[in-house]
Structure 1
Amino acid sequence: FWAVTLVALAGLVRDITRHPAPFISAEVIGNRRFMTPAIAVAFRMFVHDGIRFLLVLYLVNIFSQTPRTIGFFMLFYGIPLTVGVTYGGFLADRWPGRLVGGLAMLVLGVGTLWLALVGADAGTLLLTPGLIVAGLSGGISLTPFTKTAVAALGPDRVGLAAGLYNTLRFAGIAVSTPLLGLLLARGFARYGGLETVAPPYQTAFLLLTVVAVVGAGIAALIPHDKE
C-alpha cells in the first residue's frame, strides 16, 4: 500500500514540475487558501475515522458489549455528526472558516480526550458525553473547510478543487486505521498480546486528541479573505 502510494505521489510531483500542462498546476498546490483547509480536513478525517475504528474495538474488548449495543452507542456519535454538518454550514456563512473550523477541531480534541480518560472500570454510559461532543464538533468542522477550499480556486475550477480536496480528505482516512492498528498492536505486545486491556486504546485516543489540536493549528493558518 505504502509503496503504491509513494509511486503515485512521485508521479504526481513529476507531472507538476516537468509537464508543460500538468494535471494539477503548481499554482494550485501553492494556493494557501485552498491547501490549508484541505490539509486541515485530512487531520479531521483522521480523527473521525479513528474514533469509529477504536470505539468498536473498545466496546467489544474492554466493555464486552454486543453488536446491538455497539450499534446503539454509535448513534451518540453519528446523530450529532449529522446535525453538526448542517449547523457548520450555518456558522460558515456568518464567520470565517478558520475560526469555525479551528474552534470545532479544538472541541473535537476535547471529545477524544474524554474518551481517552474513560477507563475500564467506568460504565459505558460515561462514553456518551465524549461521543456527542466529538460528533457535533466533527460535523461542524467539515463544512467551513469544504466551503473555503472549493471557493479558493474560483468558479471555473470547482471540479478540480472538489476532486483534489476530497483526495486529501480521504487520505486522512486511509492513513488513520493502519497507523492506529500499528499503535494498538505495539501496545498489546507490552501486555503479552492481550487485547482486553485499556491502556493501548487510551493511548490511541490521546493520539487522536493530538491530531485534532494540530488540525486546529493548521486551520488557524487559513488566510483571511483579503490575503
Structure 2
Amino acid sequence: MSTRTLPPEGGRTRTGAVLAAVCLAGVLLPVSLTGASVALPGIGTDLGGGLAAVQWVVNGYDLTFAGLMLAAGSLADLFGRKRMFGGGLAVFVLCSLLGAFAPNVLVLDVLRALAGVGAAGVLTAGSAILAQTFDGAARARAFAALGTAFGVGIAFGPVLSGLEIGSIGWRGMFLSHALVGGFVLAVLLRHVKESRSPEGGRVDWAGTFTFTGSLFLFILALIQGPQWGWGNPLVIAALVGCVAGLAAFAVVEKRQERPMFDVTLFTEPRFVAISLVPVVLAFGFTAVLMFLPSYFMSVDASSASDAGLVLMFLTVPTLVLPMVGGSLTQQLSNRLVLSASLLVTAVGAAWLTVIGPGSSVLALAGPLITVGVGFGIPLGILDGAAVSTVEPGRAGMAAGMFNTMRLAGEVVAIAAMGSLLVSLTRSRLADGIARFTGDYSGDAGSLTDDLVQGNLGATADSVPAGRRDAFTAFAADGYTTALHSSLWLLAAICAVGAVGIALLLKDRPAATRSLPVPDGTAEGTGTTEGTGTTEGPVAAQARPIAA
C-alpha cells in the first residue's frame, strides 16, 4: 500500500471543500471566456472602439492566461500552491469587479488582460493542489471532476451569459463573476492546505518574458493584420519579433538549470500527443464557439440569450462526456479514443457548413452536437495524464506546461479564426458593395467589422428601407461564405491532427513510461509514493500512458 496519506485535519470535509474550491474556479474561468464572447456586441455598442479593440476583451484575457501559465506553475511550486491559487483568484475577482465599471474599451481590455494573469495562477495552482491532496483512484476521480467542471463552464457559459446580458447587461455579467470568485475566496479557500515543491529553485523570468512576448506579438499580428494590411511594417515587425522571441526562448531554456519549460518531455511522443490534442481541438471547438454568437446576432438578428441557447447543442456534450472519456480509456487505448475524438470533431465542423441565414435549430443541432462530442470526450483524460508525467514536487510545472499548450492553442485558434473570417468576408464584400453606393456610407472594411461584431442590424437601419433587404442579404451572404470556408479549414486541421496524434501514440515499447498503480506501487520499480523514489504521481486513469 502507499505510504502517502492525506493530512488528518478536516478529513473528508476538508478534501471535499478543496475539490469544491478548485472545481468552482474551474467553472468560472471558462465562463469568463465564453461569456465575454457573447457580450462583445453589447460592449462594442456601449463603449465604442473598432473590431480589433473589442476583440482584445477576449484575446487579452486568453493571451495572459496562456502566456503566464508556466510562470504561475513555477511560482506555485516555489511559494505555495494555496498562496498562488488565492492570490490569482483575488486578482481575477478585482479585475472582474472593476471591469463592470469600465469607462471605455481600452480600460476594459487592460482589466481583462490582468484577469487572465490571475486565471493563470488559479488554474495551474488548482491542478497542483488536486495532485497533492488526492491519491490513487481518488486522484483520478478528482481530475475527472475538474474536467467536468470545465465542461460545465463551457456548456452553460454562453447561455448563462446571454441571459445575464439580456437582463442585467454585460456589466452585470462581470459583477456575477466577481461574486462567485469572492465566495470561493471567503468560504472555501480556508480548507486548502498549503504545499510547495521541496526542491526549491527560482522562477524562470527570462523564459517567461520571451515566451509571453513572442505569443503576444504573434496574436497582435493575427488580429491587426486584416485591419492594417498584411504588408504593414508593424505587422511584419510583429511576426519577425515573434520568431526572434521564440529563438531567444529556446536559447534561454537551454541555459537554465531548472527551466520552466522542461523540453526533455517533448522528446517523448506520447507527451507531445497529449499536449497537442487540446491545441487541435481548439480549432474545431473553441474557435467555433467564439464566433457563432456574432454570426447569429448579425445574420439572424438573434438576441444574446437566443444565441446562447442554440450553442447549448455544442456545449452540453462537454458537461456529460468527460467522465465517459475516462471510462473509455479503461476499455480502449488512448490512441483510439483521442484520435477518434479529433475525427468526430472534423466531421462536425464539415457538417456545420449547412449553416446559413435562417437555418433551423434542427438543422444545426446535429453538427453542433457532433463537434461537442469530439471535444468533450478528452476533457476527463488529459489533465491527469499531463500532471502524471513528473514527480509530485513538480506538479505545478507539468500543469503549467500542459495548460500553456491548451490555452496558447485557444488564443491562436481564436485569433486565426477571427483573422480568416475578417479577411475572407472583406474580400467577398469588396466585390459587390459598389451596388450600394449612395445607400451605405461605409466600405467593405467597416461593414465587415459590424458583421463580425454582431451589429448588422444597426448598420442595416441606416440604409434606405427600399434597399435594406437587399443590403442585408448581400452582407449575410458574404459572411456566410467566409464562415463556410473557415469551417472547411478547421475540419481539415482536425482530420490531419487525428492522423498525427495516432502516429505519435503508436506503441513504442522502449518509450513507454511506467507510472504508479492505484495502490501506490510503481510498475517495474517496486517503490511506493512518498518515499521519494517514484517517477511521478498516479496517472489520471491509474495506469501507464500507453497507446
Q: TM-score w.r.t. structure 1 length? A: 0.88
> 68-77 or 114-123: which moved more?
114-123
Q: Which of 406, 411, 415 is the matching residue for 1:169?
A: 406
Tell whether the 8 Å contact from 2:280 to 2:494 is kept in structure 1 after alignment: yes
Are residues 1:65 and 2:302 paired? Answer: yes
| Matching residue of 1:114 | 351
Q: Which of 183, 186, 191 is the matching residue for 2:429?
A: 191
| Matching residue of 1:213 | 495
| Matching residue of 1:222 | 505
How far does the alpha carbon of each residue in 1:94-122 deviate from its partner, in whole angstroms, 9 at most, with x for none? 22212101101101111111111333363
Tell whether the 8 Å contact from 1:102 to 1:141 is kept in structure 2 after alignment: no
In the alignment, structure 2 segments of 5+ residues that lack a partner are 1-215, 219-237, 431-443, 452-475, 512-547
One-letter amino acid matched to 1:191: L
Give 1:46-125 correspondences, 5 Å limit: 46-120=283-357, 122-125=359-362
Write the distance in 2 (CA, Å) between the matches of 1:66 and 1:22.
48
> 102-111 or 2-11: which moved more?
2-11
Write the distance in 2 (CA, Å) between the matches of 1:96 and 1:153.
22
Tell whether the 8 Å contact from 2:345 to 2:374 is kept in structure 1 after alignment: yes
Tell whether the 8 Å contact from 1:97 to 1:148 is kept in structure 2 after alignment: no
Q: TM-score w.r.t. structure 2 length? A: 0.39
Report the alpha carbon displacement of residue 180 of structure 1 after superposing the two structures with TM: 1.1
Closer, same or farther in 2 for the Cα pair 1:160/1:20, shift >3 Å? Answer: closer
| Matching residue of 2:366 | 129
Tell whether the 8 Å contact from 2:284 to 2:371 is kept in structure 1 after alignment: no
How far does the alpha carbon of each residue in 1:5-26 deviate from its partner, in whole angstroms, 9 at most, with x for none? 6565344312222234433333
Report the alpha carbon displacement of residue 93 of structure 1 after superposing the two structures with TM: 2.7
Write the distance in 2 (CA, Å) between the matches of 1:26 and 1:181.
31
Closer, same or farther in 2 for the Cα pair 1:121/1:26, shift >3 Å? Answer: closer
Tell whether the 8 Å contact from 2:344 to 2:373 is kept in structure 1 after alignment: no
Are residues 1:33 and 2:270 paired? Answer: yes
Closer, same or farther in 2 for the Cα pair 1:96/1:158, shift >3 Å? Answer: farther
Write the distance in 2 (CA, Å) between the matches of 1:45 and 1:223.
23
Report the alpha carbon displacement of residue 173 of structure 1 after superposing the two structures with TM: 0.7
Tell whether the 8 Å contact from 2:285 to 2:345 is kept in structure 1 after alignment: no
How far does the alpha carbon of each residue in 1:113-145 deviate from its partner, in whole angstroms, 9 at most, with x for none? 111133336324311111111112210033334
One-letter amino acid matched to 1:106: L
One-letter amino acid matched to 1:126: A
How far does the alpha carbon of each residue in 1:177-212 deviate from its partner, in whole angstroms, 9 at most, with x for none? 211111111112221335422101111111221121
Report the alpha carbon displacement of residue 92 of structure 1 after superposing the two structures with TM: 2.1
How many percent identity over aligned positions? Answer: 27
Asked which structure has the greater RCO (Cα within 8 Å, sep 6+), the reply is: 1
Tell whether the 8 Å contact from 1:111 to 1:133 is kept in structure 2 after alignment: yes
Report the alpha carbon displacement of residue 156 of structure 1 after superposing the two structures with TM: 5.2
Write the distance in 2 (CA, Å) between the matches of 1:21 and 1:97.
30
> What RMSD in Å do the two structures reach over aligned CA positions?
2.3
Provide the aligned length of Structure 1 versus Structure 2. 227
In the alignment, structure 1 segments of 5+ residues that lack a partner are none
SS at match of 2:505: coil
Write the distance in 2 (CA, Å) between the matches of 1:182 and 1:45.
15
> 159-168 or 14-23: which moved more?
14-23
Tell whether the 8 Å contact from 1:63 to 1:124 is kept in structure 2 after alignment: no
Write the distance in 2 (CA, Å) between the matches of 1:89 and 1:145.
9
Report the alpha carbon displacement of residue 157 of structure 1 after superposing the two structures with TM: 3.9
Q: Which of 22, 25, 45 is the matching residue for 2:282?
A: 45
Report the alpha carbon displacement of residue 146 of structure 1 after superposing the two structures with TM: 3.5
